[in-house]
A and B are shown apart, each in its own frame.
Chain A
Amino acid sequence: MTSTPNFSSRRRAVTLGLALSATLLTIAAGPAHAQAARPPFIVGFTDVLSGPNAGLGTPVMNGAKAYFDGVNARGGVHGRRIEFRVIDSQADATRVVSAMQDLAGAGALAIMGLTISGNAEAAAPIANRLKVPVYSGGLSAKLLNPFQPYIFSSDITIASEGQMQIDFIRKHLFPNRADLRIAIYINQTAGTIAYAEIMKELLKQQQPGWRIVAEEVVPLTITDAGVPVAKMLSAQPDVVIMGGIDPVALLAVRAMMNQNSKVPVVNFHAGNAERTMLSLNYPGYYVIRQFPTTQDANPGKGFADMLAAMKAAGLFEGLLTSYNAITGYTTALEITAILNKCGPDCNAESMQKATLAIGQIDTGGITFRPVSFSPTRHQGIDTARFYRSNNGKLEAVGDAYSATYGRP
């Protein structure tokens, strides 16, 4: 008889305990369940992912995906996952327009990619009309000057690099030379043609004694640069100012080496892949980098994290081959930071407002200075250094330069 109340009270205690545990679990799991139920933030991506120029857009996508995967593994932003929705533009402006519409229609609060400047120009009116901010590393000068409300350069822009190239030539290559013979060698895209026009304007204003003796515009699909390079060298330039992406720069500089030329080449950032520099190993090839190299000593924790993420995603090979993977990673980092500021109920319009209000974004050493956006600044990265490969070692030459042109 005495055992019954004890058994009963034990059972009651167990029942109460279970009920309490269940209640606690429900309370604890409640917000998590609610979080999981919240729809993800959609970040759109459209770029050239197939065909001969797939090498331009694919690394951007891979770099961004590596970053977003890390964010999602840590629980997302404001408890919401980031869904990275990708559409292959095939470098076709018509497809770009429909991709922009599809992504905006799906609720994307930001769209990235658009590495080819002509594609970015096709996308800009759609972004402004649909009020979806675009973060791209492929913007031409006319998309930033004057500013367009929903267009942001997540990277340094080629329009702003001409000044750096001129400063570098007069400071490091030919100090105090008033009479230089300049060759301009660019690949044929909307962005580089605008860049060449800015370059000529700058030279006219700042170095009237420097003469443009050759100007070569080659298609992106060039397969051999022997003749254009021979034509350029026949004008006997002192220096080549280049606006060439990696494959174009590789072909041109190799052709110069094959033709026994020692003329220095100063390229903008699109030809700065570590593998490009290392495989050329031409000490006269100087190129702008907005990011440190993997050979630099301790650029920062963010840079180390990026390398780890790239390695985990099997992209380290791609990182060495193309700066575009780093651009993708950095753009994703910028978008995530802006999303954090934008809040849990962020939408495309509030994302644009958050971008203008973000101020500085610390990249942990991926860039030489923090990325920043403001109402008077739509270009995220504006600091860079010149690098070259010397006997298999990548080395920075000179100080960091800040872009001043292209910013109204």
Chain B
Amino acid sequence: MTTPLLVQILVQTLIYASIYSLFGLGYVLIYRASRVFNFAIAEMGLFCALLFTTCFVAFGLVWAIVLTVIGSLALGAALYLGIFSRLVGQEEWSQMIVSFALSIALLAVCGLIWGTEIRNIDVPGEKDKLFHIPGHVTLTVTDVVLIVSGFAIWGVLAWATTLSRLGVYMRATAENPLLAAQQGLPVTLIICTAWGVGSLVSAVASVSYGIRLQVDPTMILLGLVAVPAALLGGLDSVFGKLPGAIILGAAQATAAAFFGAAAGDVVAFATLLVVLLVLPHGLFGSKLIRRV
């Protein structure tokens, strides 16, 4: 294996890790606050990326960012208030099935509104300007922005959900909503915030991917491959998302280099299987203890 290929695998690992950790954060934020494993995260991201393309063409970059941030927050909150708040108290699996149905419905809605064509986001400036790094490997500006923003968002959210007051409230709400409400916590607002921020990070992942490559319905597969990354890091661990995503990204990139691109996804899920057999709660997940 040549040096450029090895460096390329490393670069690719970082790119995959950024995207998967962002989607993974979407899964975990929503799960931590509402105990819903939301299968529709990728479709929410697709919806927001398509919204971004429309706003970008109509109003330009700044307004596209503003409107997509507002739109993604509103989408997350609306889905919780409109659907999942009505399922509070139901079994986790039934909420999961509803989220699965929601993913199908959202994909269909995107198709109805925007069609199924490939869309490009041609942001002004030199997004494709190349950075040369040692090993005869190049990175585009978009790659660098994606990697940096992925890591930065993970850092901010890891701090916010573990050390900040909001994080404590979220944990309290997820553990026992009734008790949290009795303590005067605005339970609905906290869960809506988690859904909104979860939607926002998936929007960041999708729009970044769209700027880097393209926006089309196949993007949702990124969210699917991000599921192992989310589980690998621990479903309720924000901190675990990046390490989980790096392990998964490295496994995928290496498998693609050695066994062909088709092996990448197989290896991603095989890695998940192996880790979960050894560590059922993932690398950084909390162990659930039930009194019987």
Residues on A lying within 8 angstroms of B by beta carbon are 50-55, 58-59, 188, 216-228, 230-231, 233-234, 246-247, 250-251, 254, 257-260, 273, 275-276, 279, 317-318, 321-322
Contacts and interface: CB of A to CB of B under 8 A. Distances in A.
Contacts of B94: none
Contacts of B188: none
Interface stretch (B1-9, B85-93, B239-247, B274-282): B1-9
Interface stretch (B163-171, B173-181, B215-223): B215-223
Sorted nearest first, the 10 A-B pairs with minimum C-beta distance are: A230-B8, A321-B117, A55-B116, A218-B261, A227-B256, A226-B12, A228-B261, A54-B116, A52-B218, A260-B138
Nearest to A261: B138
Interface in B107-139: 107-108, 111, 115-118, 120, 122, 128, 130, 132, 137-139
B58 to A, nearest CB: 15
Contact of B217 (A54, A224, A251, A260): A54
A310 to B, nearest CB: 13
Contact of A259 (B122, B137, B261): B137
B140 A228 contact: no
Contacts of B15: 224, 226
Interface string B212-240: 01101111111001000000000000000
Interface of B: 1-2, 4-5, 8-9, 11-12, 15-16, 107-108, 111, 115-118, 120, 122, 128, 130, 132, 137-140, 143, 209, 213-214, 216-222, 225, 253, 256-257, 260-262, 264-265
A227 B222 contact: no
Contacts of A318: 115, 117
6 contacts: A55-B118, A218-B260, A221-B265, A225-B261, A231-B256, A317-B115
Given A55-B216, A230-B9, A260-B130, 4 more contacts: A223-B209, A223-B219, A234-B1, A321-B118
A191 to B, nearest CB: 16
B221 A228 contact: no
Contacts of B108: 50
Contacts of B213: 223-224, 250-251, 254
B21 to A, nearest CB: 15
Given A227-B257, A230-B4, A221 B216 contact: no
A221 B115 contact: no
Given A224-B12, A234-B5, A258-B140, A218 B257 contact: no
Contacts of A246: 118
Nearest to B8: A230
Nearest to A279: B120
Given A227-B256, A230-B8, A260-B138, A219 B265 contact: yes
A231 B12 contact: no
A322 B115 CA distance: 12
Contacts of B11: 226
Contacts of B116: 54-55, 58-59
Contacts of A58: 111, 115-116
Contact of A52 (B122, B221, B256): B221
Nearest to A251: B213
Contacts of B12: 224, 226-227, 230
Nearest to A322: B117
B128 A258 contact: yes
A230 B1 CA distance: 11
B120 A217 contact: no
Nearest to B3: A234
A245 to B, nearest CB: 10
Given A223-B222, A224-B15, A216 B130 contact: no
A216 B9 CA distance: 16
Contact of A227 (B2, B9, B217): B9
